[in-house]
Amino acid sequence: MSAILWISLIVAGWGLLPAIAATRKRPHFAAIAAWSIIGVFVAAPGLRSAILSTYPQDSLFTLKPLEQAGVVIIAGSPMLIGGWLAFRLACHLSVLWCSPFARVLALTANLNVTLAGYAASYILSPQIFYTYYQMIIPGLPVQWVIRGGKGLTELASALQLQGDDSLAMSAAGAFFWALSGLTISVHAISWRARSNPQRQLR
């Protein structure tokens, strides 16, 4: 079984668990996001090992502390915004239909839109980071660094979460799976809430 298939199965199963658990309230964005991230770490032991080793050879650690902070902000802010937008989209689509077949179609469409949007963002992101590096590293030429096909190939590799990639690749793969788990969790909890109207998604 490939790493991608294995991780996807664990993430999908993990995303269904909140709906199975008996809770009084349906969780907020922060709770579902945290749950989804934990699921990714459960699914990828290689990622856990890499984090414990703190990626000692990663190029990020060749920068000065303030420069590192800039990279983290540039990477983290879109992830936070993207996660919130994915959550809101899932909240909207998960309550539109009642029949089981329509719900499955809504989840499938939701995953396709969310993950395709993330893949497009991933392909475009190198230009943003390169522009930042031009600001902090003298002499870098002005150039176009986006490579569509190569970017998708790199993302496919990152999705395996083997732990031997760079910090950026690991973060990219982990965020992809976290978005998947978040979307599945929202839909699963929404489906369960239909049987208990007192539980409201926030």
Distance CA 110, CA 145 (A): 30
Distance CA 183, CA 57 (A): 33
- What was the pLDDT predicted at 200? 47
Q: Report, as an integer, the average pLDDT of 126-139.
A: 91
Question: Can you give the residue ranges of every domain in the chain?
Answer: 3-17+27-53+64-193
- What was the pLDDT predicted at 16? 92
**Is the pLDDT higher at 149 or at 36?**
36
Question: 50: which residues sit within 8 A by CB, 6+ positions away?
Answer: 163, 164, 165, 170
Per-residue pLDDT reduced to its tens digit, 28-44: 899 999 999 999 999 98
Sole residue written with tokens 């915004």? 81
Distance CA 20, CA 3 (A): 26
SS3 content of the chain, % helix, strand, coil (to 5): 75, 0, 25
- What was the pLDDT predicted at 106? 95
